[in-house]
Amino acid sequence: RLPVPKLEDTITRYLNAQKPLLNDDQFRKTEELAHAFEKGIGRELHEQLVAQDNQNKHTSYITGPWFDMYLKAREPVVLNFNAFMSFNPDPKSEYNDQLIRATNMTVSAIRFMKTFRAGYLEPEVFHLNPEKSDTEIFKKIIRFVPSSVSWFGAYLVNAYPLDMSQYFRLFNSTRIPKLNKDELYTDEKAKHLLVLRNGNFYVFDVVDRDGNMLKPSEIQAHLKYILSDNSPAPAFPLGYLTSENRDTWALLRKNLLENGNEEALQKVDSAMFCLSLDDFPIKDLVHLSHTMLHGDAANRWYDKSFNLIITKDGTAGINFEHSWGDGVAVLRFQNEVFKDSTNTPAISPQSQPASVDSSRAVQKLDFKLNDALKAGITKAKQKFDATVESLSLNMIQFQEGGKELLKQKKVSPDAVAQLAFQMAFLRQYDQTVATYESCSTAAFKHGRTETIRPASVHTKKCSEAFVKELSKHSTEELQNLIVECSKYHGRLTKEAAMGQGFDRHLFGLRYLASSKGLALPDFYQDQAYARINHNIISTSTLVSPAVQLGGFGPVVSDGFGVGYQVQDDWIGCNVSSYPARNGKEFLQCIYKSLEDIFSVLKGKKIGS
């Protein structure tokens, strides 16, 4: 189970994270408020939280509040919450044809779903010592141990089974807009796939009444039929509504239902997933990011648990809604679909589609729109277009080293990437600001995420040495500063992964206070508390053989969204920003920071 940290530990960790962000006077005030909270109302809330947690052993203390946080948020899901991960191309280039790839990936997705629902999907396990635990013999032995104690058997060989309670929402699921708080809806009985092309909606069954998958050649035939349909794009594309403010969309949805669209919406909501087929090829990686992060809202349904997007040249990606689950579940699905569709593709470039009557099997959904709905769609489109217009996406690949060299030098690759972000922001804006790094707590029952706070007194000191006082430090001193940052970041990462961060605990206490109708404690009214939760640098990382790149929008209007990966011999960064910040310049500063850090680690003088 996810532990509730000790209150004194949480307050200590919180103050450590505040230190680099505040001047001495501000820090003193925040420290006073924190200690008063710890001794007073915070202590009472903490005891109530622990008692409540002990009564609810079937779940974790963060589950309810976290779902609520996502589902009560009224901002549009696109750009604010939905993230994307794009697939690597199929190694066999002739398989990157839009129809072939769409068929193969759809078939692999259904295989994954059937395997999962039948209880045969291999459990997700984090292996700290794979030589011992990621072996056939371990799997054979653990299979016979009763599940109530099997996790303990895994712990003995340093294998950590991860929570998979989110996985069922991957399929047949959608987020339904409601006033004040949305709902998650899942209908596992539905057998159809939703396909969007050119703003038009199509559905067809992909499993029969016995639960058997349609022949791949039939799926291919139906997709071919959709790709060759030359119906014009609708004048009022419904997809735009899913990009609206949630309350606005909730009212428009009510109107849609009252206007005779209940059956069509039911088909959309219950579909296995949404396959979006785009009619253009990808120009470059920036175009790829725009396409997968937001694309054309006419051809997306952002409320579905995920959209599988495939462009004209067979480039594929996933855009996923975030309330139901985290990147870990989506990544597992993506890895399996990539592996299955490339290693054992259901169809080949030589395959012929089945000779079936697709015009009967495929249903095109028609929506009845009144003037209010048409006006709603027009307004949604204007807002969406303006937001997308103001969004910048930029990226770099640093080719002068990666994980291998950093491990050789005994520093944490993740710590170095995060240090480079701190150094870059200092160089560009002469400030240290609230920074967020996402860390999964899936090692615990119903765990979600915890925050790592990468901005520390160590990164601040090191960044200032590199950016402002270079001439005062020897290469050896700079190396020691990097090592110091790496050790501290390693400690924060370990704490977060073990459920020992401070963010979720403080969030849980605040949620409890408001659910009991209490006045908001002074601690939470501190400007410094608001500032540390206004995450100007929001970061998330993943490395996978299936994924080319991933990204998300800034979480605040004056922030950066940083998706990054540290590979064996290179480091990639994908940065999103709005006009309040210059993402291109930030990336140049990151590049410069990485160059400097690598020079120092190699024992060279910077700039030599």
* Catalytically active residues, by annotation: 322
Type of residue found at 133: S
> Facing residues of 363 across strands?
203
Q: How many CA atoms lie within 13 A of 575 on its CB side?
A: 26
Whole-angstrom Cα distance, residue 102 to residue 108?
A: 10
Type of residue found at 408: Q
**CA dihedral angle for residue 114, residue 120, residue 124, residue 129, rounded to 10 degrees:** -150
Question: Position 561: which residue type?
Answer: G
Q: Which residue has the tokens 């299936």?
A: 546
Q: Distance between CA atoms of 475 and 538, rounded to whole angstroms?
A: 30
Q: Specify the DSSP class assigned to residue 205.
A: E
Non-local (6+) Cβ contacts of 143 within 8 A are none
Strand ranges, E, within 234-324: 274-277, 306-310, 316-320
Both tokens assigned to 555: 């979480």
Radius of gyration of the CA atoms of the chain, in A: 25
Whether 276 and 296 have beta carbons less than 8 Å apart is answered as: no
Structure tokens at 430: 């002469």
Q: Give how far Cα 121 sits from Cα of 112, 117, 172, 336, Å.
A: 8, 8, 18, 10
Dihedral, CA of residue 589, residue 590, residue 595 and residue 601, to nearest 10: 130
Starting at the edge strand found earlier in the chain, the sheet holding 571-577 runs: 392-398, 571-577, 560-566, 537-541, 435-440, 449-452
Angle value at C-alpha 33, between 31 and 36, nearest 5 degrees = 105
Short-list 280, 309, 400, 398, CA closest to 105: 309
Residues in contact with 278: Cβ distance below 8 Å, sequence separation at least 6, in sequence order? 291, 295, 296, 299, 309, 310, 311, 312
Rounded Cα distance between 269 and 2, Å, is: 32
